[in-house]
Structure 1
Amino acid sequence: MRLHYRRKFNFLRRILFILCIFSLYLSRDSLSLNAKNTLLSPNLTEYHGGLIDDIQVLRCYCWYRQCGSLYAPRLQPSGAGKKAKEKKNVLWNRVSKNISVEPIYSLQTGIFYNSYLYVHSKNIQSKLKNSIKELAIARDSALIPLQVLRDINKMVKSSDSSVFHNHVYQRDKPTSPWWKLLFGIAVDSDDISVFGEEWVYKGSGIWCKYILNNDGNDLPIVDLEIYLGSSFIESRPYWKEVIHEFHRNNIPSLPISITRKIKTPSTRHGPLNGLSGPLKSPDSENNILRLLQVDEDYKITSAHIQFSKGQRSFKILQMTDFHFKCTENGMTIINEIRTINFIDRMLALENPDLVVITGDLLDSANSMDYQTCIMRLVQPMISNKIPYAISLGASDKSKLAALPQIKDFISNLPYSFNHVATKEGHMAIQVSFKKKLLKHALFERETDTKYEPSPSEALFFIFDSFNPVDDFLLDYSNLIGEIDYGLTFQYFPISEYRPHGLFPIIGQYNERSTLIVDTARSKGEVSMTIGGKHYNSFLDILNLWNVKGVSCGHEHNNDCCLQSKNEMWLCYGGSAGMDVSRMEGLYPNVRLFNLDDIMDEITSWKRSSNFVDEVYDYQYIYKGKQQ
């Protein structure tokens, strides 16, 4: 009896051994690929931009050393002859996302794996032919994106029969044998076909168009970015969303948006007012645009603006304290949309030349994706082509990214003056107003052709409150005595914002407690030697550049301007976020400054979300002698 069971056991063991050998043989390619990815060097980089010729979603298993780069085969059309060189594995690079927790931006999560978007980079020296020029991603891999269907519809109406080739592409089967599920081998299942040569299916709902020749008429995709959270808005030139707020079943609270950038067109517009830049001539209502010096991606390359003789004023819109979270909380979404609508309304009413944001764009650890929140905030300025500068606040940090990453992202946005900021985050924007010739000047000019009145100069400092300004100010010491008008913006109030005794004040001044901000400037601990003279007061130092006013953020319940001992006005921007906590009876508001060279004055006023069309607390920051 025992011999009988032993024979059965040995027979089953042989069968099991044969099945294991057979399974290993069937999955030999997958085992080799997994071993290669497991031993892959962890120093390989992700995709940070460049030409691509293929794209797909790949699984990164938990036993891989890293997910930044993987080896995988390229998708082939069904029925195509698969040569050996077509079946070989190639290196794929994951589309980069600058946050520390990788699974948050996975497209799909399983027990042993996370799926990410990967691209195959094209050789930079190669021609543009076969580069991807357009993408479309469906919310369901069984469906065809609307953009693809529209193009197909155009082909159906075409009289050219050569556009129809009925290419068939394979979609991954949802269920597979155990060894293929374990090792991530795709099994051919439902076929998805598209009529025409342009759109190619890449699996997982991804469709792409290729450049078919090198005539230069098509622009390739040169970058891809991923954003998390609700209400993402893409407004940058040459960028376009390929999928908006895709809700993943495994991470229901964080929808994902993917956007792409095409190569900047090679045509360049000529110099504008003597300054180089690709900007087109703007509408007559927006004079500042044609004076900016920008590169091909609309990044500002110079902080010096030279006005023509027809422009003699400069308007600044200050906004502060938004505390965007970009989560899926319903009330938060509504409030953030209302905030953006408020900003849009302010830009339409005031048409400022510059927007200054003095901190607290984010809500610290409550903001999941800092990039989504920042993009949402600057979208109105980018859409309206209005330059802006950002001074970061105490809440402008993320648990998923470092502060240098946040600064780098802001500095590379279109129309951002942060692109010309110092590494500490300080900016100095200089504006030159050309004076008109008076009658006596015209007479003198007839006798002396070299006569030309010197322009009026304005200087706007935007400081980072967390870094010292000594070296920065010394770099601009050559402008001392040359500036006619100056204004300063930063996040934290300084010690002079808590004056004693009686002083002029306009607006709400509800927070008067002792400043607890641990910075030298806020505590009044300033010590600088400029031009051989020592200074202990920050306001006295700013007065060297003829600064007439300082404005800050940080305190939500203060929106006043109070006058210091040397007649310099110290102002608050209030708070613009609808979701910001503030005292009852206070509403989101913004502050504006207008510098008028003809009237020789600087004025300020505010607008509130409660009465958007009304101006209140109008005042003079500086009133000189009218010419």
Structure 2
Amino acid sequence: MRLHYRRKFNFLRRILFILCIFLLYLSRDSLTLNAKNALMNPKLAEYHGGKIDDIQILRCYHWYRQCGSLYAPRLQPSGTARNAKDAYNVLWSRVSKNITVEPSYSFQTGAFYNSYMYVHTKSYRGKSKNLIKEVAIARDSALIPLQVLRDINKMVKSSDSSVFHNHVYRGGKSTSPWWKLIFGISADSDDISVFGEEWVYKGSGIWCKYILNDDDNDPPIVNLEIYLGSSFVESRPSWKEVIHEFHRNNIPSLPISITRKLETKPARHKFPNKLPRPIGIPDSENNILRLLQVDQDYKIISPHIQFSRAQRSFKILQMTDFHFKCTDNSMTIINEIRTVNFIDRILVLENPDLVIITGDLLDSQNTIDYQTCIMKLVQPMISNKIPYAISLGISDESNLATQLQIKDFIRNLPYSFNNVASEEGHIAVQVSFRRKLSRSTLARRDGSSSDETSPSEALFFVFDSFNPVDDFLLNYSDLIGKIDYGLTFQYFPLSEYRPHGLFPIIGQYNERSTLIIDTSRSKGDVSMTINGEHYQSFLDILNLWNMKGVSCGHEHNNDCCLQSKNEMWLCYGGSAGADVPRIEGLYPNVRLFNVDDIMDEITSWKRNSNSVDDVYDYQYIYKGKQ
């Protein structure tokens, strides 16, 4: 009896051994691929931009050494994967997301893996054939995106359309073998494939449109970005949302929005004293954007603005303290939408030439995706083509990203003066008013009756409150004595914001306790030697450049202007965020400044969200003697 059972056991063991060898043979490619990703460390970095010729969602298993780049096959082998051997040696780069918690932007999460978006890049010199020029992503892999359906509908109406040629729809259960499903290299269970047209299905609901020949003038995609959170809006030129707020069913986290950027080429037109103006800005518009020096991506490359027409005034909108979180909390989402609508309304009413944000865009550790929050905040300015400068505050940090990443993201946004900031983060915007004054204007101003040129210079400092200003100010020492109008903006209030005795004040001054600030400049501990003279007061230093006022943020319950020595006004921007804690009776507000060279004055006023159409606390910051 024992011999009989032993024979059966040996027979079953042989059968199992043969089956194991057979299964190992069938899944040899999958095992090789997983071993390659687990043992090797690919040198290819994550995708931060560049032309691409393939895209798909790939699984990164927990036993892989890293997820930044993976070896994986192409679902539909093309020029770089012509045979089976090459197909399993394609190196993919994950679309980068500058936050440290990787699973937060995965598309799917399993017991042993996370799925991310990967692209295949290739260096193309001169030729764009086979590059991806458009991407569309469906919310359900069994459905076709609306953009693809619209293009197919156009082809159906064409007499030479091949839209019904070689179409395959595989529904129901997956046709992929189970051993491939285990290692995650199969296509979706519901797979729609289209051949013969520009749109090609890449699995996981991703559709791509390719540049089919070298005569195709459509620009290729040169960047993809991922954003987390609700109410995201893409407003940058040459960018477009691929999918908006995709909710991942098996991941209880923030929705994903994906945007793409098309290649932009430098304009060949030449204009005096400036680079080509942005596309679509007519010469007839009296708009500051006409005079900015920008590159093909609308990034500002010079801090100097020269007026060459009739405009002799310059309006600045100061906004501060938003504390955006961009979480999935419904009240937070509503309040942030209210804040953005408030900003939109202010821009329509005032049409400023420059927007300055003095800190606390983010809400420190409560903010999940800093990029979504910043994009939400600057979207009104980008949509209205208004340049802006940002000085970061104490809450502008994240435990998911470094301070350098936050600054780099702001610097690369369109119309951002941060692109021309100093190494320490300081910005100086110089505005030159130049034109011949009319006889009537001159008569009103100084009694002269002859035509003459009357150039004026305005200088606006935007300081980083956390870095020293000595070297930065010394670079502008040649402008001392040449500035007619000056204003300074920074996040922290100065020690002089707590004056003693009686002093002029306009607005609400609710926080009067001693300043508890760690920066030496805000404490008043400043020591500089400029042009042989030694100074220990920061206000005395600013007075060298004829600064008429300093405006800050940080304190939510102060929105006043008070006058300090040198007749310099020290102002607060208030707080603009609808979700910001403040005392009863105060509403989200902004402050405006207007420099008028004709009237020889600087004025300031405020607007708030409770009565946004009304101006209040109108005052003179500077009034020339005429």
CA drift at 1:162: 4.4
- For 1:547, the equivalent position in structure 2 comes to 547
After superposition, the C-alpha distances for 1:424-461 in whole angstroms (9 at most, x for unaligned) are: 1100000000142455999xxxxxxxx96351000000
Deviation track 1:101-122 (CA, whole Å, cap 9, x = no partner) reads 1111111111111111111112
- Rate the CA distance shift 1:581–1:124 in 2: closer, same or farther, 3 A: same
Distance 1:466 1:31 in 2: 53
Q: Output the CA distance in 1 between the equivalents of 2:366 and 2:539.
A: 35
SS of match in other structure, 2:149 = helix
Letter in structure 2 aligned against 1:494: L
Report the alpha carbon displacement of residue 571 of structure 1 after superposing the two structures with TM. Answer: 0.2
Segments of structure 1 that go 5 or more residues without pairing to the other structure are 443-450
Question: Once the two structures are superposed, what CA deviation does each residue of 1:63-113 show, in whole Å capped at 9, x if it has no partner?
Answer: 1111111111111289xx974466443111111111111111111111111
2:462 alignment partner in structure 1: 462
Partner of 1:277: 276
**How far apart, CA to CA, are the structure 1 residues paired with 2:210 and 2:178?**
36
Deviation at 1:179? 3.3
Alignment-derived partner of residue 136 in structure 1: 136
Query: Is 1:242 aligned to 2:242, yes or no?
Result: yes
Q: 1:440 to 1:579 in 2, by over 3 A?
A: closer
Contact 2:174 2:190 in 1 (8 A): no
Deviation at 1:261, TM superposition (A): 0.3
Q: Which amino acid aligns with 1:137?
A: I
**1:97-108 pair list within 5 angstroms:** 97-108=97-108
Deviation at 1:190, TM superposition (A): 4.4
Partner SS, residue 478 of structure 1: helix
Bigger shift: residues 427-436 or 379-388: 427-436
Question: Secondary structure in 2 aligned to 1:521?
Answer: helix
Give the corresponding residue for 1:574.
574
Larger mean Cα displacement after TM superposition, 307-316 or 190-199: 190-199
Taking the aligned partners of 1:441 and 1:607, their CA distance within structure 2 comes to 31
Contact persistence 1:601–1:622 (CA under 8 A): yes
1:392-420: CA deviation from partner (whole Å, max 9, x where unpaired): 00000011100000000000000000000
TM-score, with structure 2 as normaliser: 0.94
2:332–2:579 CA contact under 8 A, matched in 1? yes
Q: Distance in 1 between matches of 2:495 and 2:50?
A: 49
- Aligned counterpart, 2:504: 504
Corresponding residue SS for 2:381: helix
Report the equivalent of 2:488.
Answer: 488
Q: CA deviation at 1:183?
A: 1.8
Any idea what the Cα deviations from partners look like across 1:256-284, whole Å, max 9, x if unmatched? 0100000114544442x531124143475
Question: How much has 1:310 moved relative to structure 2?
Answer: 0.1
More displaced stretch, 363-372 vs 30-39: 30-39
- CA-CA distance at 1:595 after TM superposition: 0.2
- Tell me the SS of whatever aligns to 1:566: helix
- 1:311 is aligned to 311
Give per-residue Cα distances to partners, 1:537-580, cap 9 Å, x unaligned: 00000000000000000000000000002210000000000000
Q: Name which of structure 1's ranges 530-539 and 277-286 shifts more when overlaid on structure 2.
A: 277-286
Equivalent AA in structure 1 for residue 533 of structure 2: K
Q: How has the CA–CA distance of structure 1 residues 609 and 476 changed in structure 2, closer, same or farther, with 3 Å as cutoff?
A: same
Residues 170, 203 of structure 1: 8 Å contact kept: no
Mapping of 1:153-164 within 5 angstroms? 153-162=153-162, 164=164
Change (3 A) 1:331 1:63: same
CA distance in structure 2 between the aligned counterparts of 1:286 and 1:237, rounded to whole angstroms: 21
- Match of 1:466, SS state, is coil
2: CA distance between counterparts of 1:535 and 1:322?
35
For 1:172 and 1:580, the matched residues in 2 are separated by 51
Please give the alpha-carbon distance, in whole angstroms, between the structure 1 residues aligned to 2:94 and 2:305.
40
What is the one-letter code of the residue matched to 2:300? I
Give the corresponding residue for 1:448: none
Q: Please, which moves more after superposition, 258-267 or 306-315?
A: 258-267
Query: Is the 1:303–1:430 Cα contact (8 Å) retained in structure 2?
Result: yes
- Match in the other structure for 1:446: none
**Which range moved further: 260-269 or 306-315?**
260-269
Aligned-partner Cα distance in 1 for 2:383–2:298: 12
Tell me, yes or no, if the aligned pair for 1:286 and 1:351 is still in contact at 8 Å: no
Q: Deviations over 1:593-616 (max 9, x none)?
A: 000000000000000100010000
SS in 2 for 1:261: strand
Indicate if the aligned counterparts of 2:54 and 2:121 stay in contact, CA closer than 8 A: yes
Cα distance in 1 between the residues matched to 2:601 and 2:173: 71
Residue 252 of structure 2 corresponds to 252
Equivalent runs, 1:406-555 vs 2, <5 Å: 406-437=406-437, 439=439, 453=453, 455-555=455-555
Distance in 2, matches of 1:431 and 1:97, equals 37
For 1:267 and 1:486, the matched residues in 2 are separated by 34
* Distance of aligned partners of 1:51 and 1:77 in 2 relative to their CA distance in 1, 3 Å threshold: closer
Counterpart contact for 2:162–2:197, Cα < 8 Å:
no
Distance in 1, Cα, partners of 2:304 & 2:134: 37
Is the contact made by 1:136 and 1:148 (CA closer than 8 Å) also made in structure 2? yes
| Structure-1 separation of matches of 2:418 and 2:329 | 31
Aligned to 1:293: 293
Q: Which residue does 1:212 correspond to in 2?
A: 212
Asked whether the 8 Å contact 1:167–1:197 carries over to 2, the reply is no
RMSD: 2.2
Alpha-carbon spacing, 1:541–1:172, altered in 2? closer, same or farther (3 Å)? farther
The alpha-carbon deviation at position 494 of structure 1 amounts to: 0.6
Q: Secondary structure at the match of 2:565?
A: coil
Shifted more, 282-291 versus 475-484: the winner is 282-291
**Structure 1 residues 535 and 561, CA, compared in 2 at 3 Å: closer, same or farther?**
same
Shift of 1:463: 0.2
Q: Which amino acid aligns with 1:239?
A: W
CA distance in 2, matches of 1:562, 1:520: 22
Give ranges in structure 2 of 5+ residues lacking alignment. 443-450
1:165 CA drift (Å): 2.6
CA 284–324 in structure 1, closer or farther in 2 if over 3 Å, else same: farther
Q: TM-score, normalised to structure 1's length?
A: 0.94
**Residues 268, 278 of structure 1: 8 Å contact kept:** no
The SS at the match of 2:566 is: coil
> Which amino acid in structure 1 is aligned with residue 96 of structure 2?
S
Contact 1:131–1:210 (8 Å) recurs in 2: yes
Q: Which amino acid aligns with 1:357?
A: I
Cα separation, partners in 2 of 1:169 and 1:199, compared to 1, 3 Å: farther
Cα distance in 1 for residues equivalent to 2:85 and 2:64: 25
Greater displacement, 198-207 / 451-460: 451-460
Deviates more, 1:193-202 or 1:600-609: 193-202
Deviation of residue 168 (structure 1)? 3.4
Q: Deviations over 1:290-348 (max 9, x none)?
A: 10000000000000000124010000000000000111100000000000000000000
Distance 1:324 1:173, change over 3 A: farther
d(CA) in 1 for partners of 2:211 and 2:391? 42
CA distance in 2, matches of 1:506, 1:188: 65
User: What residue number does 1:226 align with?
Assistant: 226
Displacement, 1:215?
1.8
Q: Is the 8 A contact 2:230 2:328 kept in 1?
A: yes
**Deviation sequence 1:130-179 (CA, Å, 0-9, x none):** 10000000000010001001111111111224454334377896696653
1:320 aligns with 2:320: yes
Secondary structure at 2:168 match in 1: strand
Q: Which residue of 1 aligns with 2:111?
A: 111
Identity of aligned residues (%): 82
The letter for the 2-side match of 1:420 is V
